[in-house]
Amino acid sequence: MLILLLSVSIALVTAGLFAALAAPYLPMYSGWLWVVAGLFLVLSTGTLLRKLPLRYLFLVVPLGALLAQAGINSIWPEGLPKGPAAESTGVVAPAALQLVPVVVEEGPVAVRGQTLELPRGWQVKIFASDLGQARLLSQGPAGRLLVSIPDRGQILALADTDHDGRADATTLVADRLASVHGLALAGGTLWAAETDRLLRLELNDAGRAANVTEQSRDLPSGGGHWTRTLAVKADGTLYLSAGSSCNACLETDNRRATIMTFNAGSDRGRIFAYGLRNSVGLALHPLTGELWASDNGRDMLGDDLPPDEINRIEAGQDYGWPYCYGNRVPDPQLGSVQRCAETVPAAVELPAHSAPLGITFVQAALFDFPADHLLLVAYHGSWNRSVPTGYKLVAIPFTAGRPSGQPFDLVRGWLHDGEVWGRPVAPLLGGDGALYLSDDLQGVIYRFGKDQPAGS
C-alpha cells in the first residue's frame, strides 16, 4: 500500500511540474494547462497527506521534479525554448522610425490614407498598382523593374521614363505561364521558374521575350508549396528552391525541401542543399558570392515555435527539416538528438510564423548603419498565430560576410491594431538607388527613397 501511494503521488507531482514548467511551449498550449498543473499538484499533496506523514513529501517532490525534468529534456534537449524572438514590436531599430503617409496617385482605395514607419528622411509612394499577385522582383535591362505575377501567369517590365517615382510604361515580357514565380537576369537572358518548369527567355530591345525555351522539367510539382525561386551566379550557375509538399512529413521525392542547382545548358538539376522546408528567398552575398536563404518553419507547434530562419547555404549540407529546427532542436514528432547532431543550425533565428519571403543585400551605408551590408527580409506575416506577427521589412547587419547583429525593423505598419492591410513579399534595390518592395495583398510595388516623391 505504501509503494502504491508513493507511486501515485510521484506520478501526480511529475505531471503537475511538467505541465507547469512546459505549458507555454507545448503545441496545444492554453491557459487551462496551468489549471491542470495545479490540480495535479493538489491531488498529489492531498493523496499523500491523507495517508502518510509529511516527511514523505521530501521523497516524493524531488523524485517528481527529476522525472519532470527528464521528460522536458527528452523533448527539448537544448533546454526550454526562449520566448517569442523579438516579436510583434520587433527589435527597435538603431535610429528611430517616423510615421510617413503612403503617397498614392493612382492605386487601390485600401492604401489611400495609410501610413508606414520608415527611417528618418525616407518617403514612400506607390510605384505601380493593379498588379494582381505581385511577387518577386528583378532588375531588368534599361532600368526596367521586372515582376512576376503568378495568378495572371505574367512577367511584367515596369519603367519610370519621366523619373517621377512612378511607373509610366508597362511591358508584357511574357504571358500564359503556369504560376511563374522566380526571376533571375543574366546578360540578355531572363530565367523564370514555373512550378514544374525552368524557362529561358531571350529579351529583345523592347524588353519583351523574343524567344521562350523550356530549359528543364526536373522540378517537383504539386504539393503544398508551389513557389520556385531563382538566383544566378556570375558564372551562370543557377540555384532553384523547391519547398516541401507538406507541413511536416517524410518526403518521397528527394527534390522537395531543397535548393537545386542547374548548370547553363543542362536540363538536369542536382540537389545542392536539403532539409529546407520552404526557402522562398534567395540572395548571393555581394562580396563573398555565398548563397543565403530565408526558410519558413513548420506549423502546429504553437504560437512561438519553431523559429523561422536565415541560412547560409553550403553544398551538400542538411539543414534539418523535418527532423530539426533552429539550433538543432529536434522536432517533437519526427526528430531526435542523434538525427539533429549533424545538421546545420540556423545562422539567424526569426520570430515563428513571420513568414520571411524575399531577401536582398544592400550596403549598410544606405541607411547610415555601422556595418558592411544589411540583409533585407520581407516578413509576409502569419496566418495561424493567435496574435498576428510579421507584416514588415526587417534588416540584419552583416560584417565580413557574416551576421553581426540582431534583426531590426526597417519598415513597419502593414499590421495596425490587429488589422492587416498589406503583405510584403520581396525587396529590391533599384538602379536609381531607391528601394522597391512588392505587396501581393494590394497588388502594388512601393518605392522608398530619401528624395521627396512627386505628388506629396
Which residues are CB-contacts of 200 (< 8 A; sequence separation ≥ 6)? 189, 190, 191, 212, 213, 214, 215
- Cα within 13 Å of Cα(261), Cβ side: 15
Helix or strand holding residue 392 (H, E): strand 392-399
126: helix, coil or strand? strand
Does residue 430 share a domain with residue 313? yes
If you ran DSSP here, which 8-state letter would residue 318 be given? B
How far is residue 227's CA from residue 276's CA, in Å, rounded to a whole number? 14
- What is the extent of the structural domain holding 27? 2-75
Least Cα distance to 17 among 55, 52, 48, 43 occurs for 43
Does residue 238 share a domain with residue 270? yes
Does residue 429 share a domain with residue 306? yes
Residue 302 resides in a domain: yes
Summarised one tens digit per residue, pLDDT across range 383-399 is 989 999 999 999 999 99
Summarised one tens digit per residue, pLDDT across range 236-294 is 899 999 999 999 999 999 999 999 999 877 899 999 999 999 999 999 999 999 999 99
Does residue 297 share a domain with residue 198? yes
* pLDDT at res. 35: 60
Q: Is the pLDDT of residue 323 over 70?
A: yes
Mean per-residue pLDDT over the chain, rounded? 87
How far is residue 325's CA from residue 323's CA, in Å, rounded to a whole number? 7
Cβ–Cβ under 8 Å, residues 182 and 136: yes
Does residue 108 share a domain with residue 70? no
Considering only CA atoms, give the Rg of the chain. Answer: 25
Q: CA quadruple 323, 326, 328, 332: dihedral positive or negative? A: negative
Q: Is the pLDDT of residue 214 over 70?
A: yes
Phi, psi dihedrals of residue 266, rounded to the nearest 5°: -95, 140
The DSSP result for 209-253, as a single string, is EEEEEEEE--S--SSS---EEEEE-TTS-EEEEE--SSSS---SS
Per-residue H/E/C for 65-108? HHHHHHHHHHHCCCCCCCCCCCCCCCCCCCCCEEEEEEECCCCC
Domain boundary among 19, 43, 75: 75
Does residue 140 share a domain with residue 30? no
Residue 359 resides in a domain: yes
Q: Is the pLDDT of residue 83 over 80?
A: no
| The three grid cell numbers given for residue 415, joined into one nine-digit string | 499590421
- Straight-line distance from the first to the last Cα atom of the chain, in angstroms, rounded to the nearest whole number: 83
* pLDDT at res. 218: 96
4: helix, coil or strand? helix
Alpha-carbon distances, residue 110 vs 46, 113, 129, 387, 456 (angstroms) = 60, 8, 12, 22, 18
Placement of cell 492604401 in the chain: 111
Q: Is the pLDDT of residue 28 over 90?
A: no
For the chain, the domain total comes to 2
Residue 401 resides in a domain: yes
Tell me whether residue 160 is exposed, middle or buried, using C-beta atoms within 10 angstroms of its C-beta: 0 to 12, 13 to 18, 19 or more: buried
Helix or strand holding residue 50 (H, E): helix 32-51
**With left for phi above 0 and alpha for psi between -120 and 50, is residue 225 left, alpha or beta?**
beta
Residue 101 resides in a domain: yes
* pLDDT at res. 109: 77
Which residues are CB-contacts of 107 (< 8 A; sequence separation ≥ 6)? 126, 129, 130, 442, 444
The amino acid that residue 179 corresponds to is S
Q: Is the pLDDT of residue 82 over 50?
A: no
**With left for phi above 0 and alpha for psi between -120 and 50, is residue 270 left, alpha or beta?**
beta
Residue 88 resides in a domain: no
The domain that holds 337 is classified in CATH as 2.120.10.30
* Residue 1 CB neighbours (<10 A): 7
Q: Is the pLDDT of residue 27 over 50?
A: no
Cβ–Cβ under 8 Å, residues 355 and 379: yes
Residue 81 resides in a domain: no
| The three grid cell numbers given for residue 5, joined into one nine-digit string | 501511494
Does residue 130 share a domain with residue 57? no
Cβ–Cβ under 8 Å, residues 138 and 149: no
Residue 456 resides in a domain: no
| The three grid cell numbers given for residue 282, joined into one nine-digit string | 534567395
* pLDDT at res. 76: 52
pLDDT category, 106, cuts 50, 70, 90?
A: confident
Residue 85 resides in a domain: no
If you ran DSSP here, which 8-state letter would residue 279 be given? -
